[in-house]
Structure 1
Amino acid sequence: MIPHSPIRLTSAALRSQRSHTFKAFYATLRGGRSPPPEPSDDAPPPDNDFFMSILRSNPSLRDAKSYLASFGLRPQSYSSSSSEPKMAEPPPLADSSTSKQIPEAQELPKPSPVIASILNPVYRRTALVKIQGPFTDNQLDSISRGLVYLEKLGLVSVIVVEHDDRPRGEQDERPAIVDEVMRVVTNLEKQGSRARPIVGAVVRLGPKPEDDIVHSDPDFDPPETHALPSDLVAIRSALSAGEIPVIAPFALDSFCRSVRVDANEVIAGLARGMVEVSSVGPRSTGQEGSLEFSSELDLTPLRLMIIDRTGGVPSYARSGYPHLLINLTSEYQHIHDTFDERWRESNPSALTNLALARKCLMYMPPTSSAIMVSHKSPSSLIGNLITNKPAVSSSLPHALLQGNRKLTPHTPTLLRRGLPIQVLRSVSEIDKDKMNTLLEQSFNRKLDQVSFYNRLDNVLDFVIIAGDYAGAAIVTKEKSTSGSQTISYLDKFAVLPSNQGDGTVDFLWVALHDESYGLGHPFSANPNGGKGGKGDGRDLVWRSRADNPVNKWYFERSSGHVRLGAWVLFWCDAERRLKIEEGRRGSAGLSYIENWEKGRLSDWGEVVLKIPSSWK
Structure 2
Amino acid sequence: MLLLAHSRILCRQPSLRAFYATIRNLRQPQPLPEGDESDPSESDFILSILRANPSLRDTKSYLDSFGIQQPHHHKKSLLPSLLDLPAPALRPSARQPPTQDVDIKTTRVISSILNPVYCRTALVKLQGPFSDRQLDSISRGMVYLEKLGLVSVIVLEHDKLPRGDDRERTAITEETNRVVAALEAQGAKARPILGASVRLGPKPGDSDAPINGMPLLEAHVFPEDLAPIRSALRAGEIPVIPPFALDSFCRSTRVNANDIVAALARGMAEAAELDAKPQTQKPSEPHADYSEDINLTPMRLMIINREGGVPSYARSGYPHLLVNLTSEYNYIRDTFDPAWLRDRPSALSNLALAHTCLSYMPPTSSAVMVSHRSPSSLIANLITNKPAVSSSLPHALLQGNRKLTPDTPTLLRRGQPIRVIRDVANVDRAKLNHLLQTSFHRTLDIDAFYKRLEKCLDFVIVTGDYVGAAIVTNEPVPGSSSRPISYLDKFVVLPSHQGDGTVDFLWVALHDESYGLGHPFSINPNGGKEGKGEGRDLVWRSRSNNPVNKWYFERSTGYIRMGSWILFWCDAEKRLRLEEARSDSGLSYIEDWESGRLEEWAEVVNKIPSAWK
With structure 2 as the length reference, what TM-score do the two structures score?
Answer: 0.86
Question: Is residue 129 of structure 1 aligned with residue 124 of structure 2?
Answer: yes
Q: Determine the C-alpha separation between the residues in 2 that align with 1:413 and 1:436.
A: 34
Give distance in 2, aligned partners of 1:281 and 1:516: 48
Alignment of 1:46-85 (within 5 A): 49-76=44-71
Q: 1:189 aligns with which of 162, 184, 188?
A: 184
Structure-2 residue corresponding to 1:610: 607
Q: Does 1:312 align with 2:309?
A: yes
Look up the match of 1:499: 497
Deviation for aligned residue 1:442: 1.5
Per the alignment, residue 7 of structure 1 pairs with none
- Of residues 546, 550, 553 in structure 2, which corresponds to 1:552? 550
CA distance in 2, matches of 1:121, 1:37: 38
Q: Contact 1:134–1:163 at 8 Å: present in 2 too?
A: yes
Q: Paired residue for 2:264?
A: 270
Given that 1:36 and 1:56 are in contact with CA atoms closer than 8 Å, whether structure 2 keeps it comes out as no
Q: Counterparts of 2:402 and 2:230 in 1: how far apart (Å)?
A: 42
Q: Aligned runs of 1:358-397 on 2, under 5 Å?
A: 358-397=355-394
2:126 match: secondary structure? strand
Aligned-partner residue type, residue 588 of structure 2? S
Instruction: Give the drift of 1:113.
Output: 9.5
User: Who is 1:420 aligned against?
Assistant: 417
Aligned to 2:570: 572
The Cα of 1:139 is off from its aligned counterpart by 0.6
**Shift in CA distance, 35/444, structure 1 to aligned 2, threshold 3 Å:** farther
- Segment drifting more, 438-447 vs 190-199: 438-447
CA distance in 2, matches of 1:121, 1:21: 53
Correspondence for 2:326? 329
Shift of 1:373: 0.4
Q: CA deviation at 1:329?
A: 0.9
Instruction: Confirm or deny: 8 A CA contact 2:199 2:247 kept in the other structure.
Output: yes
1:25: how far off? 4.6
Question: SS of 1:362's equivalent?
Answer: helix
1:226 aligns with 2:220: yes
Q: 2:38 maps to what in 1?
A: 39
1:67-123 per-position Cα deviation (integer Å, ceiling 9, x unaligned):
11211123335999xxxxxxxxxxxxxxxxxxxxxxxxxxxx999999x98xx9611
Contact 2:58 2:499 in 1 (8 A): no
| 2: CA distance, partners of 1:23 / 1:424 | 37
CA distance in 2, matches of 1:461, 1:415: 30
Partner of 2:137: 142
Instruction: Give the counterpart of 1:529 among 527, 530, 533.
Output: 527
Match of 2:255 among 242, 261, 267: 261
SS at match of 1:181: helix
Q: 1:281, CA displacement in angstroms? A: 1.8
- For 1:469 and 1:459, the matched residues in 2 are separated by 21
Match of 1:399 among 396, 400, 418: 396
* Equivalent position amino acid for 2:25 in 1: Y
Are the equivalent residues in 2 in contact too, given 1:199–1:248 (CA < 8 A)?
A: yes
Secondary structure class of the residue paired with 2:499: coil
Q: Does structure 2 conserve the Cα–Cα contact (< 8 Å) formed by 1:25 and 1:399?
A: no
Residue of structure 1 equivalent to 2:539 = 541
2:579 alignment partner AA: E
SS of residue matched to 2:338? coil
Equivalent residue in structure 1 for 2:168, among 170, 173, 181: 173
1:338 aligned partner, one-letter code? T
**Following TM superposition, by how much is the alpha carbon of 1:590 offset from its aligned partner in structure 2, in angstroms?**
0.7
Q: Does 1:208 find its partner at 2:206? A: no
Q: 1:232 to 1:25 in 2, by over 3 A?
A: farther
Shift of 1:251: 0.9
SS at match of 1:514: helix
Task: Name the amino acid aligned to 1:152.
Answer: K
**CA contact 2:272–2:296 (8 Å) conserved in 1:** yes
Question: Which whole-Å CA distance do the structure 2 matches of 1:79 and 1:597 have between them?
Answer: 68
Point out where structure 2 has 5 or more consecutive residues left out of the alignment: 1-12, 76-103, 280-290
1:207, 1:215 → 2: CA distance? 11
Q: Residue by residue, what CA displacement relative to the aligned partner does 1:108-165 show, whole Å, maximum 9, x if unpaired? A: x999999x98xx9611111000110111111111111111111111111000000001
Query: 2:483 corresponds to which residue?
Result: 485
Which residue does the alignment assign to 1:434?
A: 431
* Distance (whole Å) between structure 2 residues aligned to residue 70 and residue 27 of structure 1: 38
Instruction: Quote the Cα distance in structure 2 between the aligned partners of 1:19 and 1:546.
Output: 22
Q: In the superposition, relative to structure 1, how do residues 569 and 296 fare at CA in structure 2: closer, same or farther (>3 Å)?
A: farther
- State the 1:37 CA deviation: 6.0
Aligned with residue 442 of structure 2, among 439, 445, 448 = 445
Over 3 Å counting, the alpha-carbon distance change for 1:552 and 1:19 in structure 2 is: farther
The answer to whether the 8 Å contact 1:23/1:559 transfers is no
Aligned amino acid, residue 262 of structure 2: A
Q: Secondary structure at the match of 2:302?
A: strand
- Which consecutive unaligned segments of at least 5 residues does structure 1 have? 1-13, 81-108, 285-293
Identify the residue that residue 99 of structure 1 maps to in structure 2: none
User: Residues 536-588 of structure 1, C-alpha deviation per residue, up to 9 Å, x if partnerless?
Assistant: 000001111000111000101111111110001111100011111111113x1
Q: Give 1:48 shift.
A: 7.2
Tell me, yes or no, if structure 1 residue 352 matches structure 2 residue 346: no
Alignment partners' CA distance in 2, 1:429 and 1:19: 45
Alignment CA distance shift 1:36-1:230 (3 Å): farther
Assess, with a 3 A threshold, how the Cα gap between structure 1 residues 158 and 609 changes in structure 2: closer, same or farther. same
Deviation at 1:507, TM superposition (A): 0.5
Partner SS, residue 135 of structure 1: coil
Which structure's CA Rg is the greater one? Answer: 2
Paired residue total: 557
> Relative to structure 1, is the Cα distance of residues 277 and 615 closer, same or farther in structure 2, using a 3 angstrom cutoff?
same
Which is bigger in relative contact order (C-alpha 8 A, separation at least 6)?
A: 1
Match of 1:26, SS state, is helix
Spell out, residue by residue over 1:231-272, the C-alpha distance to the aligned partner (whole angstroms, 9 max, x if none). Answer: 100111000100000001111111111111100010000001
CA shift for structure 1 position 504:
0.9
- Mapped contact 1:516–1:540 kept (Cα < 8 A): yes
Residues 222 and 359 of structure 1 are in contact (CA less than 8 Å); yes or no, is this contact kept in structure 2?
A: no
Percent of pairs with identical residues: 66
Aligned equivalent of 1:26: 25
Q: How far is the alpha carbon of 1:513 from its aligned partner? A: 0.1
In structure 2, distance between residues paired with 1:491 and 1:421:
18
- Structure 1 pair 610/361, CA: closer, same or farther in 2 (3 Å)? same
Task: Give the Cα–Cα distance (whole angstroms) in 2 for the partners of residues 34 and 392 of structure 1.
Answer: 16
- With over 3 angstroms needed to count, the CA separation of the structure-2 counterparts of 1:121 and 1:36, relative to structure 1, is farther
* TM-score, normalised via structure 1 length: 0.85
| Structure 1 Cα separation of the partners of residues 325 and 364 of structure 2 | 13
Go from structure 1 to structure 2 and tell me whether the alpha carbon gap of 1:549 and 1:258 turns closer, same or farther (over 3 Å shift).
same
Give the 3-state SS of the residue equivalent to 1:342 in structure 2: helix
